[in-house]
């Protein structure tokens, strides 16, 4: 997204403070002031204003994200067309596999978790609805990129690079291009501990009627519990089936 010609610095600073609070899972005035270039009194003024509107809550000396954001987030998610179609199918896949199932969309070159459902054996992760992640180190992101025009993929990779997240992350541009070609051929992507050690995922793109990705769905599971036979044979079939149902309903209903 292009930078605004005349950014409102106060608004920008407010959102910077909110992102720090979220990143730290709660923060005090001194912690926030250390990370922004304004004094404690200015931070206090921002926080007092946000608390008055219930966008942050104060607990002792710490501030946390308030529930007022919940309504805004739910509204934004509900405006995303794929959400209504995909939600029930994501729930079904979680029940079928017993694992963690995620739905991801792309926005400004990053992945945003739109919805997730947990089966009875689902692993607990750092992911949550609304979390932003790089596309190159997730199966979901690779599934989305594989079904986008090459110039769009190049633009995203030029902007964000291929930073190393774990020792398994693909960081070479040529190798990553080959990976996307494999995804196009088999129509699903694999995350081999590329974002989190000990976790791997199978992901499939959800495409429009022109075969351009609009989202992706995945099943995530710990390496130690799910063997290769189930991971590479059973789960791709299940994820592909779910993606196909979502595509049909979204494109032709």
pLDDT of residue 188: 98
- Using an 8 Å Cβ cutoff, are 179 and 145 in contact? no
pLDDT of residue 4: 62
| Structural domain spans, the chain | 9-66, 79-252
Task: Quote the CA–CA distance of 135 and 90 in Å, as a whole number.
Answer: 20
H/E segment holding residue 203? strand 199-207
Contacts of 39 (CB under 8 A, 6+ apart): 33
Whether 206 has a pLDDT exceeding 70, the answer reads yes
Whether 2 has a pLDDT exceeding 60, the answer reads no
Angle (nearest 5°) at CA 39 between 38 and 40: 130
Whether 1 has a pLDDT exceeding 70, the answer reads no
Q: What is the pLDDT of residues 138-156, one digit of tens each?
A: 999 999 999 999 999 999 9
3 state SS of 25: coil
pLDDT of residue 107: 93
What mean pLDDT comes out for the span 193-214?
96
pLDDT of residue 118: 96
Q: What is the CATH number of domain 9-66?
A: 1.10.10.10
pLDDT of residue 5: 62
Q: What is the mean pLDDT of the chain?
A: 91
What mean pLDDT comes out for the span 215-240?
95
Fill in the DSSP letter of residue 27: B
pLDDT of residue 66: 86
pLDDT of residue 127: 85
Q: What is the CATH number of domain 79-252?
A: 3.30.450.40
Q: What is the pLDDT of residues 18-66, one digit of tens each?
A: 888 888 889 999 999 888 878 889 999 999 998 888 888 999 989 998 8
């Amino acid at each position: 997204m292009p930078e605004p010609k005349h950014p409102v610095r106060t608004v920008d600073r407010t959102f910077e403070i909110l992102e720090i609070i979220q990143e730290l899972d709660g923060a005090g005035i001194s912690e926030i002031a250390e990370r922004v270039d304004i004094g404690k009194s200015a931070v206090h003024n921002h926080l007092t204003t946000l608390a008055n509107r219930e966008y942050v809550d104060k607990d002792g000396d710490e501030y946390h994200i308030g529930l007022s954001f919940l309504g805004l987030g739910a509204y934004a998610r509900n405006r995303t067309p794929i959400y209504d179609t995909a939600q029930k199918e994501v729930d079904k896949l979680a029940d079928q596999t017993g694992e963690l199932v995620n739905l991801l969309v792309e926005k400004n070159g990053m992945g945003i978790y739109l919805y997730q459902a947990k089966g009875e054996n689902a692993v607990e992760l750092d992911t949550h609805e609304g979390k932003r992640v790089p596309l190159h180190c997730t199966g979901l992101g690779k599934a989305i990129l594989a079904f986008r025009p090459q110039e769009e993929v190049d633009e995203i990779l030029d902007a964000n690079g291929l930073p190393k997240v774990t020792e398994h992350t693909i960081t070479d541009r040529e190798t990553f291009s080959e990976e996307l070609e494999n995804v196009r051929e088999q129509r699903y992507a694999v995350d081999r501990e590329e974002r989190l050690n000990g976790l791997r995922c199978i992901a499939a793109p959800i495409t429009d009627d022109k075969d351009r990705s609009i989202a992706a769905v995945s099943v995530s599971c710990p390496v130690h519990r799910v063997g290769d036979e189930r991971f590479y044979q059973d789960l791709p079939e299940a994820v592909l089936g779910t993606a196909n149902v979502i595509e049909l309903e979204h494109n032709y209903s």
